[in-house]
Amino acid sequence: MDTTVPSKGIITHRHALHSNRRCRNRIRAGKAKSDIPIINLAPNWLFLPFVLLPRRQKYGHHTNSKMKLKIRTGFGYDVHQLQEGLDFWLGGIKIPHTHGALGHSDADVLIHVICDALLGAANMRDIGFHFSDKDPKYKGIDSKILLKEVVQLLAKEGYEIGNIDSTVCLQEPKVNPHIPTMKTCLAEVMGIPEEDISIKATTTEQLGFVGKKEGVAAYATVLIVKE
């Protein structure tokens, strides 16, 4: 029986099994050398990966262009000072509170970090670049309008939103009761399912400007996909 290894280094199941069986027979007959590689003593099933696994394409890339996806991640961070007597907008909804966030727009810190994360993922700068706080037309603007424009900017470049994960840092009021309504609102603005939006809330245990109720902070990470 032919026991030579095929060309180009391909080990077939037949050659692997025969080589393994031949090695064991030599050991039983006392003819094997002491330095026989340990792989030759392995059971036959260890050679199955050589048969079952497909050959990897060059550099590990798929040759089918339909399988190629561009996946990018983005991160956003923002803070706003809290001031008595202002409306408090967060996640696209108005939350009853004695203090509100101070800013050029409606100062919705959650929407702002989502905008920054989306723009950053697409390498399209940040929210201040597209909607300058020096431009009077953005004075007091609803941040949901800005978010919708950001989503449209990404769509023009062929990107779709995969998912969003965000955290709001606020000492008071409590944010958790309002999260379902926020998710519904943001999902409608961005045109994505609510299940693709995660909103979490935490305090800073009375530490820093958040703990002293002087401000609100938020973080967001996003994933965007382009075929």
What is the Rg, in whole angstroms, of the alpha carbon atoms belonging to the chain?
A: 30
> Which sign, positive or negative, has the C-alpha torsion 95, 100, 101, 102?
positive
Numbered residues of the known binding site for a divalent metal cation: 78, 80, 112
Q: What is the pLDDT of residue 46?
A: 52
pLDDT value at residue 206: 94
The binding site consists of 78-80, 104-105, 112, 126-128, 131-135, 202-205, 209, 212
Superfamily designation of domain 67-226: 2-C-methyl-D-erythritol 2,4-cyclodiphosphate synthase (3.30.1330.50)
DSSP β-bridge partners for residue 201: 168
- Supply the pLDDT for residue 204: 94
Query: E strands, 27-69, where?
Result: none
Q: At what angle do helices 109-121 and 179-190 cross, to 10 degrees?
A: 40
Q: Encode pLDDT of 169-186 as tens digits.
A: 999 999 999 999 999 999
What does the pLDDT read at residue 69? 84
Residues of the chain with CATH 3.30.1330.50: 67-226
Q: Which of 124, 108, 129 minimizes the C-alpha distance to 159?
A: 124
Q: What is the pLDDT of residue 218?
A: 97
| 8 A C-beta contact, residue 203 and residue 210 | yes
DSSP-derived pairing of the beta strands 160-169 and 197-202: parallel
Residue 128: the pLDDT is 86
Is pTM beyond 0.85? Reply is no
Ranges of the chain with pLDDT below 50: 1, 3, 5-11, 34, 36, 38-39, 51, 56-63
